[in-house]
Structure 1
Amino acid sequence: MRRPRTGTGTGSGTGAGASAETRAGTGIRERIPALLRERTFRSYWTGRTVSLVGDEISLIAIPLAAVLVLGADAAEMGWLKAAELLPALLLNIPLGAWADRQARRRRAMIAADLVRAALLVSLPVAYLLDVLTLAQLYVTAFGIGALTVLFEACNNTLFVALVSRERYVQANSLVSGSRSMSWLAGPGIGGLLVQLLTAPFALLADACTYLASARFLARVDPVEPVPAPVGKGHLTAGLRWVVKEPSMRALFAWSGTIQFFNYMFHTLFVLYVTVELGLSAGVLGAILSAGAVGGLIGAMSSGRIVARFGIGPSILCGSVVFTLPLVLVPLADGPLPLVVVTLFAAEFLSCVGVMVIDIASASLQMVLIPEAIRSRVMGAFRTLNHGFRPLGALLGGALGAAMGLRPTLWIGTAGAVLAILWLLPSPIPTTRALPEPVTQDTVPA
């Protein structure tokens, strides 16, 4: 209801009230991060936030559809995870090279969102018609993975076009905070939707988030970098640069090792928690959501951690805090309350570490990579890095079927902890501040 005017503005009471309201409004505005006061970045960030929540819903709904609806075993879960991750191995380099040649990468991101939404809608439709199969889950997972590769190949360039160098840590903190919020909300919502609607219909919510992401991206229109010329070695330039740059080379070896062993772990996690430990989908969602609180704390504190200790030491610290608590998962045993508390602790602490890693390493990569080959470098990095994921998923499924879930989880957690050994002899431990951006004339031939 509109507040009535009580005078002409000459009374001292009215002036004091207006001043208090102004100060209150200013105080609230000052609490909002500066980047979120800018309409363009706010639209970009909102779209990413909504999409990340949907990703977490599908992360739990698709595997549960395979387990609860179609009765998938450990080996079939390995094939499902491999189908989701294989595009990262096959398509990152060619799509990265394609993205560097495009002037309007944002349009490709919008198209990827729309097609991903259509693929997800196909699953509940097939379930309703009683024709849903594991083969369709494999095809859908592969298609969504391929479109995600395309989206991310364009996203890094769009991000740099929106954010100045001195704001990289703040912007990455905001995006990572959204990721933590998605971990908090997504699994809980997903688990609840699976219980209420069955797993296939829970994916309709994820389809809606892709549509929302496309809508917000349509509001963003920054000046994108000039397309790179096509010349000799265009396709492999990013791969050659990753191999020759010492910090990126170390990050590749470390991250690739973590990805390999961590996906051995994650391929079997849902099966282990629901079948061997006997937890319901709702409790699983609550555990993952509770772990996201740790991720949110990590995202909120990462700026201070980086400012206090530096970029490189923050990456090392994050690596330990991310991987070491996961050993609690194969240790989980005994009464149900003790098992739940153990899994809560593992998820909470691990998510703190992963947020520090994401923010510090992403900010370092953004200044290390030359603009002209950014998509190709990130494509090569993801090929070498994420390409280990399907390999880990397949091995995890095979070992889980051959030797059991708990022993395989031990192998996965131990290998991830030891990945930090790749970073120690590199320049990263002594890198305190963000270096100056690499210029084109320093790019290796």
Structure 2
Amino acid sequence: MTGTLSAPPAVDRRRRWLPELLRQAPFRRYWSAQTVSLFGDEISVLALPLLAVLGTGAGPAEMGYLTAAALIPNLFFSLLLGAWVDRYPHKRRLMVLADLGRAVLLAAVPLAYLFGVLSLGQLYVVAFLTGTLAVLFEVAHGTLFVSLVPRKDYVDANALTNGSRAMSFVAGPSVGGFLVQTLTAPVALLADAVSYLFSALFLARIGPIRTTAPASDDGAGLGLKRGLRFIARAPILRSLLLGTTTLNLFNYMFTALYVLYVSTELGLSPGLLGLVIGIGSIGALLGAAVTGRLVRRLGIGRTVVLSFVLFPAPLVLVPLAGGSPPVVLGVLFASEFLSGLGLMMMDITVGSLQTAVIPEHLLARVAGAKRTVNYGIRPIGAVLGGTLGATLGVRPTLWIATVGAIAGLLWVLPTAIPKLRELPEPDHAAAG
């Protein structure tokens, strides 16, 4: 007796090569929303400052104010929004509204430019309000993540989303530069506005998800304190936050002076500088690809420790760079590539570990508290780097910044983190 076997549906054959998480429609739509938004953001990173310079005549001081306007909401609103979001039951709705709000704000900029009424003040307001909506989106993000992703898949899920981020680092600035050059900066901003609309659409189409009851309404004051109190009581989370904050303080000292140093002291042209940064993005892509395997081989704890070394340590090569142009380029390539690899390893493993130890009903509040500390230190590091660079010199300050960044590891080594093989359970004792 003979018969014919029916072939599997074409859609199944097409999806065999996809990672398991991306075969699941809810996570795939969540990942798609993240991916398209990240690419749009990289376009705005280039287009908005260029529009400030070319469209309003902004100088160095004004550019500093524009950067600060986008960062200040992290200091002002992270704790407040985190406490409020945890008490609001429809967190995905907040993320969709944040996307739509950012789309409207960015779309208003080219319209103002078209009618000849664009001002630097408007750009400050847009940067501040989009930064505020970004805080709202991010503090609500953790709850959606844990609703879609089983605990055992946290590392793989973070690898996929951070892989998109790494890819946006590679392609986003190139696309942004092309759009600015061919269509002007205001039109390029429309691409980011459209990306937020697509992100909102993908999030809205995720469909029903597992939800948790909103946190008890314990009052605004206590709500703000509970996120900070949990961090203080949770040894793993406290150590990770202190370590990453220390690293970010020194890393933003380095970032404030890097372009100045390599372009004036080392004599790199803008084209070569872009190539060097692109090499770092390729390292980040590799980091997204290999981190899951490293975690399975070494354990989550050892991989975290390795990332705390591999991200900052290669940057020591920058103040060491010297000699012939090929040697300088080779050293800078190695520095950016290895540091990009370590950065992605850190983002994936630290993000997974932090999510694992936080009880679901505290995710937004703790995210707000973490964001206040970790993002709040960044402008301080940039100002400190500029001040030390002006007083001590650029190269000595780079030495301080690169060596100091490695000190973040000292917060992690004495803890239980290096011994962790798997993601731990939520720390309910610290939440009490």
* TM score, norm. by length of structure 1: 0.86
Match in the other structure for 1:226: 213
CA gap of 1:177–1:36, structure 2 versus 1, over 3 A, is same
In structure 2, how many angstroms separate the alpha carbons of the residues matched to 1:39 and 1:53?
A: 21
Q: Does 1:437 align with 2:423?
A: no
For residue 212 of structure 1, report the CA deviation from its aligned partner.
1.2
- 2:248 is the alignment partner of 1:248: no
Q: What letter corresponds to residue 60 of structure 1 in structure 2? A: L
> Of 73, 88, 92, which aligns to 1:87?
73
Deviations 1:119-156 (A, max 9, x none): 22344344445555544433322222111110001110
**What is the Cα deviation at residue 61 of structure 1?**
3.0
1:243 is displaced (CA, Å) by 0.8
Q: By how many angstroms is 1:219 displaced?
A: 0.5
| Equivalent residue letter for 1:58 | S
2:41 maps to 1:55: yes
Query: Which residue number in structure 2 is paired with residue 119 of structure 1?
Result: 105
Give the distance between the partners of 2:109 and 2:272, measured in 1 at CA: 24
Match for residue 356 of structure 2 among 356, 363, 367: 367
What is the identity, as a one-letter code, of the residue corresponding to 1:153?
A: V
1:427 aligns with 2:416: yes
SS in 2 for 1:235: helix
Match of 1:183 in 2: 169
Give per-residue Cα distances to partners, 1:164-209, cap 9 Å, x unaligned: 1111111111111111111121122223333334444432222221
Whether contact under 8 Å (2:99, 2:197) holds in the other structure is yes
**Which residue of 74, 84, 88 maps to 1:102?**
88
Task: Call closer, same or farther: CA 1:178–1:135 in 2, change over 3 Å.
Answer: same
Aligned residues: percent identity? 52
Rounded Cα–Cα distance in structure 2 between residues aligned with 1:266 and 1:147: 25
Q: What secondary structure sits across from 1:326 in the alignment?
A: helix
409 and 214 in structure 1: CA distance in 2 versus 1, 3 angstrom threshold: farther
Query: In 2, distance between residues paired with 1:402 and 1:123?
Result: 38
The answer on 1:328 being equivalent to 2:317 is yes
Residue in structure 1 matching 2:377, options 388, 399, 404: 388
Question: What is the CA distance between 1:268 and its match in structure 2?
Answer: 4.2
Change (3 A) 1:214 1:198: same
CA distance in 2 between counterparts of 1:279 and 1:132 reads 34
Structure 1 unaligned segments of length 5 or more: list them.
1-9
Q: Pick from 301, 314, 318: which aligns with 1:312?
A: 301
Per-residue CA shift, 1:270-307, capped at 9, x if unaligned?
Answer: 55566776666665544433322211111111111011
Distance 2:115 2:262 in 1: 30
Structure 1 range deviating more: 352-361 or 340-349: 340-349
TM-superposed CA distance for 1:432, in Å, is 2.0
Q: In the superposition, relative to structure 1, how do residues 350 and 369 fare at CA in structure 2: closer, same or farther (>3 Å)?
A: same
1:416 correspondence with 2:405: yes
- Give the stretch that moved more between structures: 298-307 or 329-338: 329-338
Distance 2:186 2:389 in 1: 25
Assess if the C-alpha contact under 8 Å between 1:81 and 1:267 holds in 2: no
From the superposition, tell whether residues 436 and 320 of structure 1 become closer, same or farther in structure 2 (CA, over 3 Å). Answer: same
How far off is 1:269 after superposition? 4.2
Deviation at 1:77, TM superposition (A): 4.3
Q: 1:287, 1:404 → 2: CA distance?
A: 23
Q: CA deviation at 1:246?
A: 1.0
1:239 maps to a residue whose letter is L
**Partner SS for 2:312:** helix
| Partner-residue secondary structure (3-state), 1:305 | helix
CA positional deviation for 1:437: 3.0
Does the Cα contact within 8 Å between 1:101 and 1:230 map onto a contact in 2?
yes
2:234–2:427 contact (8 Å) kept in structure 1: no
Aligned pairs for 1:124-163 (under 5 A) are: 124-128=110-114, 132-163=118-149
State how 1:17-36 maps to structure 2 within 5 Å. Answer: 29-36=15-22
Report if the CA contact (8 A) 1:326-1:346 is conserved. Answer: yes
- Alpha-carbon distance change, 199 to 264 in structure 1, aligned in 2, over 3 angstroms: farther
Counterparts of 1:115 and 1:286, CA distance in 2: 34
Q: Does 1:344 align with 2:333?
A: yes
**Pair 1:308–1:193, CA change in 2 (3 A):** same
Distance 1:273 1:188, change over 3 A: farther
1:227 alignment partner, SS class:
coil
Q: Give the aligned residue type for 1:378.
A: A
Task: Check if 1:296 corresponds to 2:285.
Answer: yes
Check the 8 A contact 1:79/1:394 in 2, yes or no: no
Report the equivalent of 1:239: 228
Closer, same or farther in 2 for the Cα pair 1:359/1:287, shift >3 Å?
A: same
Distance in 1, Cα, partners of 2:398 & 2:49: 17
SS in 1 for 2:425: coil
Say whether the 8 Å CA contact 1:78–1:394 is kept in structure 2.
Answer: no
CA distance in 1, matches of 2:296, 2:218: 41
Structure 2 unaligned regions, length at least 5 = none
Answer yes or no: is the 8 Å Cα contact 1:319–1:353 preserved in 2: yes
Provide the aligned length of Structure 1 versus Structure 2.
428
Q: Distance in 1 between matches of 2:323 and 2:101?
A: 45
Q: Structure 1 residues 295-304 or 277-286, which shifts more? A: 277-286
Amino acid of the structure 1 residue aligned with 2:212: P
- Check the 8 A contact 2:247/2:408 in 1, yes or no: yes
Q: Is contact 1:186-1:289 (8 Å) kept?
A: no
**Structure-2 change in CA distance of 1:274 and 1:425 (3 Å):** same
Q: 1:424 to 1:28 in 2, by over 3 A?
A: same
- Label 1:211 to 1:444 Cα distance change in 2 as closer, same or farther (>3 A): closer
- Amino acid aligned to 1:229: S
